[in-house]
Chains A and B, each alone.
Chain A
Amino acid sequence: MSSFDRRDFLKLCGAGALTAGLVPGARLAFAAPEANAYDTLIVVFLRGGCDGLSLVPPTGGNDRAYYEIARPDLTVPISGNGAALGLANSGSGWGLHPRASALHALYQANKLAVVLGAGMPAPVTRSHFDAQQTMEYGTPGSTGSATGWLTRYLTSANLPANITIPALSAGSITASSLIASTEAITMGNGNDFRIDSSAWPWNARDRYRDDNGNINAPAGFRGLVEVLPDLWAGDSALEAAARQTFDALSIIRPMNFGAYAPGNGASYPTDGFGNQLKMIAQIVKADLGLRVAAIDLGGWDTHNGQGVPTSGYDPFGNTVESLSRGLAAFYTDLDGAGAANYTSRTSIIVMSEFGRRMRQNGSDGTDHGYGNMMMALGGSVNGGRVYGLDVFAGLADQALFEGEDVMVTTDFRRVLSEALIRRLANPRLGRIFPGYGGYSPLGIFQGTDLPPDYDGGQDAIFRSGFEPG
């Protein structure tokens, strides 16, 4: 099923229908919530290389001793002020950073799982941009793909043709995991996502309303919003991208993001991450068919003065708190009862391009490392457990990669593949992660196992980026 089916569908709706609301209004109007009939996967990317050893520090065993030696000025303590929050079912003992108390509560409720020693097994790269791109393309060893792993999930998923928003990248520039997808909307703020800035009488048909709020534009009226697509009818890649943009604008325009009231008393942080999570929650609840979303949280490149939770100066902890409060608010918002229970079909994966060096550097920071933690959150996550412990190499000098970094012992694709198969029911791993093999589930997600399909058949449409075939 190619992405062009969605565009064809839009065309069938006709230009008038586009501005009036693409699909019959009730679906777009944030009507009474009902749990969706499909799963949504949210991928949170911690940009800059999150220091996993501070977010999930060892709290017991030999690894704790090695950690304290390597991090004398950055230690997250295990007792007293600023102590790590212990995690049950974590072997010799691991904890969460104290500023992640909201995530800790979700762990205790068995909704949050942690994976240790996760990352990209080969090639090793300590470049932010190389590592981010390789992971988001899902093609370790090659950045020549020019399509993201979520893009290839979409093109191999056999989704129904009439899905309104199958994929969302939060922000202004598309995440690499969704690069070259003609199905994804990239949007930073739902309220602002409309071209309403020109002179009102000629802006759009929907500026003309009767007393009941129904559109009653003059006969034959076509405003800027209606005429604009006529300018972009050509077949260059730029024009194709603009048509995708107009699709997105026409879908979002009738929606009222400002009036949204989060469910269950959820309180989102007012930072960019919180606002974008809230936007995603609205789209999940509006039942627009959202299958995957990518969202970033930056600020993790802590080479210098990263701070400790025992001090008032704790920039790393501030970022942890954004992550923790944002994700907890999102979970709470979606965690209604009965028909308002979206959490059972919404899963979140938290990942970063690499972990940081075991030893602190000379400026109370940490430099680029290798293995890292990952997290999974959701109503269908087998949470309250730390995964990857059976193969985790530990923190002894001889167990570290090059004597310096946490070893990668769990392929990040193994975690993502489990979400793809057990939650999104797409086992076409050969297309989504070319060259990856030997998958077996860790048991992080509930769901049905499907035999992995390692056939790497390519979708011809995407060979040349988003230039249509």
Chain B
Amino acid sequence: MPAAFPIAPDRIGWLQKATFGFSTPEDYDLLQLPGATVDAKWEAWVERQLAPASIADADCDARLGAAGFATLGKTLQQLWAQHYGDGANYYNRMLPVAETECATMIRAIYSKRQLFERVVNFWHDHFSVFGWEYDIGPIFTHYDRDVIRPNAFGNFRSLLEQVATSTAMQFYLDNYASRGADFNENYARELIELHTLGVGNYFGPGDPFSVECLDSLIHCPDSMPAGYVDNDVYEAAGALTGWTIRNGHWQYPGDNDGTFVYRSDWHDRRNKIFLGEYLPANQPAMQDGRMVFDRLVAHPGTARFVARKLCRRFVGDTPSQALVDAVAVQFNTHIAAPDQIARMLRTILLSAEFKTSWGTGMRRPFEVTMSALRGLGANFTPRPDNTSAWTTTERLVSHLQQAGHRSFAWSPPNGYPDRQTAWASTGSLAMTLKLLAWVPEMRVDNDGSSAFIADILAQTRAALPDAAARTAAAIIGYWATRLLGYQPEPTVSVVTAFLQQNAAANAPINIDEDVWNTGNLARHYTQQRLRTAVGMLLMSPDYFRR
């Protein structure tokens, strides 16, 4: 069936899918890469992005440095003592998550390691914790900086265990309080249902030996069942007892720095059977839990579950089974490789399906917002604020909250949705459009007089220095190229007509005036009309597609 909407040209659409939004500087960088064809250049771009340390990121680093963040360099122990330990000052207690949220926006907008930032975002959804929970906000920096980021392109098994032992996940799913035979099942259930096998492999209560795993494509270890039952959840919960944190528990009041610890006296020492594998009693420290993780990661269901989610994030809502399988094979073949995740990403980003699937997904509120700020060339350093002023950062975050997509603010453990059906809800879409309508109006001090964070007027003048050449079509054509990378219809025509009003098509729009003139709409508040028109490009369906 032919597409019912304009298709973004090859590399434009690929950048839109793989980054926090197409931008002309990113496109320029792509075109400078070696390669005789756009496919060769794209391959070079993907390779460069998969080696983020090789990409100089001075501008982003400078902006992060200038933001004056106070908590992002603190060790876990410092965060624990200075923020977790602060029960009196809520602002200070939650400052680590607030600063991480701001730094995340800065990186999304300005980092040249765009793929890395998108994948960090993916793992924050996959291993989602509620960052604004009272016990998690103070130490959230550690989760983002030391757990998610170092492993984003790395090895899934390694990431899984680092998440399991992280203070944030220990708190969030209560494993820190799971002791002995009266274990707490919260983490074990979500570990299997949300982090590894997925609910599609859940067989409910019942006999754990009922169905054997047979997989024609992916290696399946001996006596592995096809899926899990409740008994596997209970056994995994038992296996993970004693994995906890030093939180000043009354039995160990001296242990109180927030770091992970294994307590053998809290461990359920009996023998267990997990996913068809025998775990003997009295195993060495952490061995039960590690066997659970090994077994989960070896299951073909995990390979496919993680592969499908990655494909959905980068390709579209319904990736083909063939692509999912190809990515799952990468997961399984390189199961112990330090670049296992990068290999999966390479398979996705170089696939024909990635390159030809424009419009099969929808960018989410956070993504389109960061994209808008990137495309407009905004000069914006979000910072937390503890004054009574209603700052631009606070207003932006509030808009994202209304749209349903504030960073680290999803309270259930399944992470933010990744499908169009969720984000095309009237509530979310309306509030996202409202947010995008405001972006061209964003000012440094969130008032009516300070500088715009993206000066659309000055950029328009600079792009079209000859005032006589500033027709509505020229202005909108310029901004469509800047923001979208191409000229989709009817978007360009509709927005051009709006800017043009009753002026002749070849007549310049006088953007040097901004006055009331209801008798001649072509000269009615022209600078505000220009900003509104640029906002319309952000509010077009072409801007939401990916």
Q: Measured between alpha carbons, how far is A298 from B177 in the docked complex, in Å? A: 22
Q: Contacts of B494 on A, CB cut-off 8 Å?
A: 227, 230-231
When A198-B535, A227-B498, A235-B4 are in contact, do A180 and B421 touch as well, CB less than 8 Å? yes
When A47-B412, A224-B532 are in contact, do A363 and B174 touch as well, CB less than 8 Å? yes
In the complex the two chains form, is B422's CB within 8 Å of A127's CB?
Answer: no
Instruction: Select the stretch in B56-64, B95-103, B432-440 that faces chain A.
Output: B432-440
Q: Contacts of A426 on B, CB cut-off 8 Å?
A: none
Interface centre among B233, B437, B544 (most CB of A within 10 A): B437
Q: Is B351 on the interface with A (CB-CB < 8 A)?
A: no
Q: Is B319 on the interface with A (CB-CB < 8 A)?
A: no
Q: Is B181 on the interface with A (CB-CB < 8 A)?
A: yes
Q: Contacts of A218 on B, CB cut-off 8 Å?
A: 518-519, 521, 524
In the complex the two chains form, is A465's CB within 8 Å of B529's CB?
Answer: no
In the complex the two chains form, is A195's CB within 8 Å of B433's CB?
Answer: yes
Q: Is B209 on the interface with A (CB-CB < 8 A)?
A: no
Q: Is B184 on the interface with A (CB-CB < 8 A)?
A: yes
Question: Dominant SS at the A interface?
Answer: loop
When A304-B174, A362-B184, A367-B184 are in contact, do A172 and B428 touch as well, CB less than 8 Å? yes
Q: Contacts of A83 on B, CB cut-off 8 Å?
A: none
Q: Contacts of B178 on A, CB cut-off 8 Å?
A: 361-363
Q: Contacts of B529 on A, CB cut-off 8 Å?
A: 199, 201-202
Q: Measured between alpha carbons, how far is A465 from B425 in the docked complex, in Å? A: 13
When A126-B189, A127-B193, A367-B184 are in contact, do A188 and B204 touch as well, CB less than 8 Å? no
In the complex the two chains form, is B180's CB within 8 Å of A362's CB?
Answer: yes
Closest residue of B by beta carbon distance from A131: B199
Contact with B along A110-153 (1 / 0, CB 8 A): 00000000000001111111100000000000000000000000
Q: Contacts of A194 on B, CB cut-off 8 Å?
A: 434
**Which residues of chain B from 409 to 445 have any CB-CB distance to chain A below 8 Å in the complex?**
411-412, 414, 417, 420-431, 433-435, 437-438, 440-441
Q: Contacts of A160 on B, CB cut-off 8 Å?
A: none
Q: Measured between alpha carbons, how far is A232 from B540 in the docked complex, in Å? A: 7
In the complex the two chains form, is B177's CB within 8 Å of A305's CB?
Answer: yes
**Which residues of chain A from 176 to 220 have any CB-CB distance to chain B below 8 Å in the complex?**
179-180, 184-189, 192-203, 218, 220
Closest residue of B by beta carbon distance from A175: B425
In the complex the two chains form, is B535's CB within 8 Å of A224's CB?
Answer: yes
In the complex the two chains form, is B185's CB within 8 Å of A197's CB?
Answer: no
Q: Contacts of B437 on A, CB cut-off 8 Å?
A: 195, 197-198, 224
Q: Is B359 on the interface with A (CB-CB < 8 A)?
A: yes
Q: Is B353 on the interface with A (CB-CB < 8 A)?
A: no
Interface centre among A124, A199, A305 (most CB of B within 10 A): A199
**In-complex Cβ contact of A362 among B182, B495, B528 (8 A):** B182
Q: Contacts of A220 on B, CB cut-off 8 Å?
A: 502, 521
Instruction: Give the interface residue-count category, chain B.
Output: 35 or more
In the complex the two chains form, is A402's CB within 8 Å of B434's CB?
Answer: no
In the complex the two chains form, is A172's CB within 8 Å of B541's CB?
Answer: no
Q: Measured between alpha carbons, how far is A47 from B410 in the docked complex, in Å? A: 13
In the complex the two chains form, is B185's CB within 8 Å of A361's CB?
Answer: yes
In the complex the two chains form, is A221's CB within 8 Å of B521's CB?
Answer: yes
Q: Is B490 on the interface with A (CB-CB < 8 A)?
A: yes
When A124-B205, A174-B425, A248-B426 are in contact, do A234 and B5 touch as well, CB less than 8 Å? yes
Q: Is A249 on the interface with B (CB-CB < 8 A)?
A: yes
CB distance from A173 to the nearest CB of B (A): 5
Q: Contacts of A222 on B, CB cut-off 8 Å?
A: 498
Q: Is A48 on the interface with B (CB-CB < 8 A)?
A: yes
In the complex the two chains form, is A363's CB within 8 Å of B177's CB?
Answer: yes
Q: Measured between alpha carbons, how far is A197 from B428 in the docked complex, in Å? A: 16
Contact with B along A230-248 (1 / 0, CB 8 A): 1111111111011011001
Q: Contacts of B491 on A, CB cut-off 8 Å?
A: 231
CB distance from B330 to the nearest CB of A (A): 27
Q: Contacts of B199 on A, CB cut-off 8 Å?
A: 127, 129-130
In the complex the two chains form, is B424's CB within 8 Å of A238's CB?
Answer: yes
Q: Is A169 on the interface with B (CB-CB < 8 A)?
A: yes
**Which residues of chain A from 229 to 269 have any CB-CB distance to chain B below 8 Å in the complex?**
230-239, 241-242, 244-245, 248-249
Q: Is A368 on the interface with B (CB-CB < 8 A)?
A: yes
Q: Is B375 on the interface with A (CB-CB < 8 A)?
A: no
When A303-B184, A362-B181 are in contact, do A234 and B4 touch as well, CB less than 8 Å? yes
Chain A-chain B contacts (Cβ-Cβ < 8 Å), number: 228
In the complex the two chains form, is B204's CB within 8 Å of A125's CB?
Answer: yes
Q: Measured between alpha carbons, how far is A443 from B520 in the docked complex, in Å? A: 67
Q: Contacts of A203 on B, CB cut-off 8 Å?
A: 532
When A47-B412, A202-B529, A202-B532 are in contact, do A236 and B539 touch as well, CB less than 8 Å? no
In the complex the two chains form, is A197's CB within 8 Å of B205's CB?
Answer: no
**In-complex Cβ contact of B421 among A235, A242, A365, A465 (8 A):** A465
CB distance from B296 to the nearest CB of A (A): 16
CB distance from B104 to the nearest CB of A (A): 20
When A195-B434, A218-B518, A363-B177 are in contact, do A187 and B427 touch as well, CB less than 8 Å? yes
CB distance from A259 to the nearest CB of B (A): 21
Q: Measured between alpha carbons, how far is A162 from B441 in the docked complex, in Å? A: 37
Q: Is B403 on the interface with A (CB-CB < 8 A)?
A: yes
CB distance from A136 to the nearest CB of B (A): 13
Closest residue of A by beta carbon distance from B241: A362
Q: Measured between alpha carbons, how far is A465 from B414 in the docked complex, in Å? A: 22
Contact with A along B332-350 (1 / 0, CB 8 A): 0000000000000000000
Q: Measured between alpha carbons, how far is A188 from B406 in the docked complex, in Å? A: 14
CB distance from B75 to the nearest CB of A (A): 26
Q: Contacts of A1 on B, CB cut-off 8 Å?
A: none
When A199-B441, A242-B541, A367-B186 are in contact, do A172 and B427 touch as well, CB less than 8 Å? yes
**In-complex Cβ contact of B185 among A231, A233, A299, A303 (8 A):** A303
Q: Measured between alpha carbons, how far is A367 from B177 in the docked complex, in Å? A: 13
When A249-B430, A362-B184 are in contact, do A466 and B421 touch as well, CB less than 8 Å? yes
In the complex the two chains form, is A198's CB within 8 Å of B440's CB?
Answer: yes
**In-complex Cβ contact of A192 among B184, B426, B431, B519 (8 A):** B431
Q: Is A15 on the interface with B (CB-CB < 8 A)?
A: no
Closest residue of A by beta carbon distance from B543: A231
When A185-B426, A194-B434, A301-B186 are in contact, do A130 and B202 touch as well, CB less than 8 Å? yes
When A173-B417, A303-B174 are in contact, do A241 and B438 touch as well, CB less than 8 Å? no
Q: Is A31 on the interface with B (CB-CB < 8 A)?
A: no
In the complex the two chains form, is A228's CB within 8 Å of B433's CB?
Answer: yes
In the complex the two chains form, is A365's CB within 8 Å of B174's CB?
Answer: yes
Q: Measured between alpha carbons, how far is A67 from B430 in the docked complex, in Å? A: 48
Contact with B along A281-301 (1 / 0, CB 8 A): 000000000000000001101
Q: Measured between alpha carbons, how far is A239 from B6 in the docked complex, in Å? A: 13
Q: Contacts of A388 on B, CB cut-off 8 Å?
A: none
Q: Contacts of A171 on B, CB cut-off 8 Å?
A: 404, 427
Q: Contacts of A129 on B, CB cut-off 8 Å?
A: 193-194, 199, 412, 414
In the complex the two chains form, is B524's CB within 8 Å of A201's CB?
Answer: yes
When A128-B412, A202-B532, A361-B184 are in contact, do A238 and B438 touch as well, CB less than 8 Å? no
Interface centre among A172, A245, A361, A465 (most CB of B within 10 A): A172
Q: Measured between alpha carbons, how far is A224 from B402 in the docked complex, in Å? A: 20
The 4 closest A-B pairs by CB, nearest first: A362-B182, A172-B404, A241-B424, A363-B177
12 contacting pairs across A/B (C-beta < 8 A): A127-B189, A171-B404, A173-B427, A189-B402, A197-B437, A198-B441, A199-B531, A238-B544, A298-B411, A362-B182, A362-B183, A367-B184
List 10 additional A-B contacts (Cβ < 8 Å) besides A128-B412, A198-B438, A238-B362: A130-B202, A169-B427, A173-B423, A184-B426, A197-B441, A199-B528, A231-B495, A236-B541, A303-B185, A466-B424
Binding site for A on B (CB under 8 A): 4-5, 173-174, 177-186, 189, 193-194, 199, 202, 204-205, 230, 233, 359, 362, 399, 402-404, 411-412, 414, 417, 420-431, 433-435, 437-438, 440-441, 490-491, 494-495, 498, 502, 516, 518-519, 521, 524-525, 528-529, 531-532, 535-536, 539-541, 544-545
